[in-house]
């Protein structure tokens, strides 16, 4: 089952922030008024986390969270600790309770139970995997192999191309097919080519050899060498990740016939037949030259090598649902990507499987317990206030032409807001989940969810559908669907607390809301109009002024070193950095508006603005392993959490005023050198 991000995030939806890596979190029922209090401190921020020996203007992250950073040890089974991880842990605990209390009465309980039945999994051994590998062994020609690759969409295995369904770049009311580069097992092309990832390459090659030995390959070392050579060839022709977030570069529509003519060497008709996709009049091809070159590599590669490559990936993707020996072998490799030293407890892996397979079924029951109507109502009010603040910022900016401002206001007005959970939950009635059949359950769930997604091909876009589960600790901007989505999962302390000071909610979740709103107007969002069509609606003069400020901003981030030798890539992270920066501005404006012209009270010696910025910084409180940071720098369009605090703040005048930041302080930037975006 494929998990690689496909094409431009700006086209198919942009994640707000990698706050955590699994299901979501828990909103407790509201307390009686006499008992109501925030989770952190007396007004919503953990003041004990601060390090008051650090000047705010020297390192605001350490000022806000330095004591916590100094005393926190990252658990052995995690790549990071922080606010998002803590929230996610709460959610996992709540989901565990939900699942274990219904093992024999719900589908999600049965799936959880099948994952936890280690004795049966060991008894079954590799028999289910061998049945899948037998189908691959029966492949005799490259045409048959192309068809087999198509069948891996929703099943164990790999293809040279990744596919998905999403709104058309020309007509965003209709869903079309998206197709882009794939074919590799390491996170990004740099892992095959860059010197700093040699240890990960060596671990991957060793894992391939172990896997090929486990499935009975007579020459596992030679097989591993051939697979690594093939994937390295793919990597050399793959696009760098920064180019893959550029809408202008990844928007390459063509028909099935045009694709076959442009990229000969692969039997496209057989590939699409395997994926049950009929001929298409319009396919949005992402990494155009890579798709062509990967087809050439395919044509030049012996069938025997292709089958070895596929054999490994079928086994690799099935490994988490097989014997302890297969699980441990896979972990021996994957831990090199993040620096963790201990495999997560089995129950946490079970929760992750259920969340990914039956997400809305779990979520429908989850929100009944953990997301009260009062929270949904307050959050909707916050979003409405942030949209008003963004409208004011558009209206008063001095670098955008009048016609462009009008188009921006139109886009903002048409931006849908979704909070907590979808209006209508999808049905899982047709999915069979059987007690004691983990491998079969995973296969059936993979096929069921893929068929659900692919059924939208050629159909009208349903903007009410969600791309995240209600219990997810994250949020997103829907790209071509012009919507912003805030699952119940993220609407928890420290991001959102019904009982916290308004400054806290505006500084934490308000900044996330602002982030998602301004994705519609970042360096890629500005190329999508109010209706979701890909169209640059800015004047050349607007774009030139915007780009000049973006370059100033990007140059600041290029100096941020996350781990030894791993610097933030401003081209890759530009959209997220702009959304962080502008979103914080918009949240601050909205907070000031909420005061109704009055001064905020001073609480614990802190002004309203000081509480706002502390809440913002503590929402990004995090500590990551060096290997995890290197992985993030290479693969993620978001900057590491530390720089999501430092980067925006040093360009915001109100922060300077709130904390008395002066020339000579480490974070100080002269006013004329600060970026001015939105």
For residues 591 and 506, the answer to whether their CB atoms sit within 8 Å is yes
Instruction: State yes or no: pLDDT of 9 exceeds 80.
Output: no
Long-range Cβ contact pairs of 98-104 (< 8 A, separation 24 or more): 98/362, 98/365, 98/366, 98/369, 99/350, 99/351, 99/354, 99/362, 104/435
| Confidence at 11, pLDDT banded by 50, 70, 90 | low
User: 379: phi > 0 → left, psi -120 to 50 → alpha, else beta; which?
Assistant: alpha
Calpha distance 168→198 (Å, rounded): 40
Comparing 121 with 31, the larger pLDDT belongs to: 121
The predicted structure's pLDDT at residue 24? 30
Per-residue pLDDT reduced to its tens digit, 529-539: 999 999 999 99
Instruction: State yes or no: pLDDT of 27 exceeds 90.
Output: no
Structure tokens of 442?
């995973």
The predicted structure's pLDDT at residue 33? 36
For residues 32 and 40, the answer to whether their CB atoms sit within 8 Å is no
| Confidence at 1, pLDDT banded by 50, 70, 90 | low
Which H helix or E strand runs over 149? Answer: helix 142-151
Per-residue pLDDT reduced to its tens digit, 53-96: 999 999 999 999 999 999 999 999 999 999 999 999 999 999 99
Instruction: State yes or no: pLDDT of 17 exceeds 80.
Output: no
Percent of the chain with pLDDT over 70: 95
Structure tokens of 467?
């791309």
Instruction: State yes or no: pLDDT of 308 exceeds 80.
Output: yes
Calpha distance 246→336 (Å, rounded): 30
Q: What three-state secondary structure class fits 452?
A: helix
Task: Set out the domains of the chain in order of their start, with CATH numbers.
Answer: 44-73+371-424+464-673 (3.40.390.10), 140-302 (1.10.1380.10)
Calpha distance 661→523 (Å, rounded): 30
Strand partners, 180: 162
Q: Using alpha carbons only, how large is the chain's radius of gyration in Å?
A: 25
Per-residue pLDDT reduced to its tens digit, 463-479: 999 999 999 999 999 99
Q: Please tell me the pTM assigned to this model.
A: 0.94
| Confidence at 632, pLDDT banded by 50, 70, 90 | very high
The two most distant CA atoms of the chain are separated, in Å, by 77
Q: How many helices, marked H, and strands, marked E, lie in the chain?
A: 29, 12
Taking all residues of the chain, what is their mean pLDDT, rounded to a whole number?
Answer: 94
Per-residue pLDDT reduced to its tens digit, 479-495: 999 999 999 999 999 99
Half-sphere exposure of 90 (CA within 13 A, CB side): 21
Instruction: State yes or no: pLDDT of 12 exceeds 90.
Output: no
Query: What average pLDDT does this structure show over 357-385?
Result: 96
């Amino acid at each position: 089952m494929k998990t690689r991000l496909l094409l431009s995030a700006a086209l198919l939806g942009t994640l707000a922030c990698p706050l955590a890596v699994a299901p979501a979190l828990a909103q407790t029922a509201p307390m009686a008024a006499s008992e109501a209090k925030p989770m952190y401190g007396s007004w919503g921020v953990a003041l004990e986390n601060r390090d008051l020996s650090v000047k705010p203007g020297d390192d605001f992250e350490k000022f806000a969270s330095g004591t916590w950073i100094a005393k926190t040890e990252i658990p052995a089974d995690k790549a990071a600790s922080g606010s998002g991880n803590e929230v996610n842990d709460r959610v996992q605990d709540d989901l565990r309770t939900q699942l274990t209390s219904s093992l024999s009465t719900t589908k999600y309980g049965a799936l959880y139970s099948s994952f936890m039945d280690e004795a049966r999994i060991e008894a079954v051994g590799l028999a289910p995997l061998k049945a899948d590998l037998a189908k691959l062994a029966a492949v005799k020609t490259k045409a048959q192999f192309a068809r087999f690759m198509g069948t891996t969409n929703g099943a164990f295995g790999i293809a040279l191309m990744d596919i998905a369904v999403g709104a058309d770049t020309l007509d965003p009311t209709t869903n079309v097919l998206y197709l882009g580069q794939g074919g590799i097992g390491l996170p990004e092309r740099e892992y095959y080519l860059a010197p700093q990832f040699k240890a990960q390459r060596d671990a991957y090659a060793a894992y391939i050899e172990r896997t090929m030995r486990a499935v009975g390959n007579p020459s596992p070392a030679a097989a591993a060498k051939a697979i690594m050579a093939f994937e390295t060839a793919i990597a050399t022709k793959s696009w760098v990740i920064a180019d893959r977030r550029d809408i202008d570069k990844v928007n390459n529509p063509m028909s099935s016939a045009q694709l076959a003519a442009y990229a000969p060497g692969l039997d496209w008709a057989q590939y699409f037949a395997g994926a049950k996709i009929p001929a298409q009049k319009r396919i949005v091809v992402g990494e155009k030259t890579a798709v062509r070159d990967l087809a050439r590599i395919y044509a030049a590669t012996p069938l025997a090598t292709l089958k070895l490559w596929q054999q490994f990936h079928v086994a690799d993707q099935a490994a988490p649902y097989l014997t302890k020996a297969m699980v441990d072998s896979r972990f021996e490799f994957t831990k090199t990507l993040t620096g963790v030293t201990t495999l997560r407890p089995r129950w946490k892996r079970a929760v992750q499987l259920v969340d990914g397979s039956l997400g809305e079924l779990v979520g429908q029951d989850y929100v009944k317990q953990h997301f009260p109507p009062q929270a949904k109502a307050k959050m909707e009010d916050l979003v409405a206030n942030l949209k008003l603040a963004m409208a004011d910022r558009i209206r008063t900016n001095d670098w955008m032409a009048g016609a462009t401002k009008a188009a921006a206001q139109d886009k903002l007005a048409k931006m849908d807001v979704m909070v907590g959970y979808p209006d209508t939950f999808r049905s899982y009635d047709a999915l069979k989940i059987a007690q004691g059949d983990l491998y079969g359950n995973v296969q059936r769930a993979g096929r069921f969810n893929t068929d659900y997604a692919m059924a939208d091909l050629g159909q009208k876009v349903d903007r009410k559908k969600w791309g995240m589960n209600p219990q997810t600790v994250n949020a997103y901007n829907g790209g071509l669907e012009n919507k912003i989505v805030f699952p119940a999962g993220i609407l928890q302390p420290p991001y959102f607390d019904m009982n916290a000071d308004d400054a806290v909610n505006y500084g934490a979740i308000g900044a996330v809301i602002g982030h998602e709103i301004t994705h519609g107007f970042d360096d890629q969002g500005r190329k999508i109009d109010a209706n979701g069509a890909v169209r640059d609606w800015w004047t050349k003069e607007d774009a030139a002024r915007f780009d000049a400020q973006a370059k100033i901003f990007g140059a600041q981030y290029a100096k941020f070193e996350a781990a030894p030798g791993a610097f933030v890539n401003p081209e890759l992270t530009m959209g997220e950095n702009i959304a962080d920066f502008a979103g914080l501005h918009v949240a601050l404006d909205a907070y000031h508006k909420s005061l109704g012209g009055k001064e905020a009270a001073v609480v614990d010696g802190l002004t309203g603005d000081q509480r706002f910025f502390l809440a913002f910084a503590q929402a990004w409180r995090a500590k990551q392993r060096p290997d995890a940071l290197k992985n993030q720098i290479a693969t993620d369009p978001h900057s590491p959490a530390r720089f999501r605090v430092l980067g925006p703040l040093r360009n915001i005048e109100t922060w300077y005023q709130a904390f008395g930041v002066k020339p000579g302080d480490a974070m100080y930037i002269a006013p004329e050198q600060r970026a001015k975006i939105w």
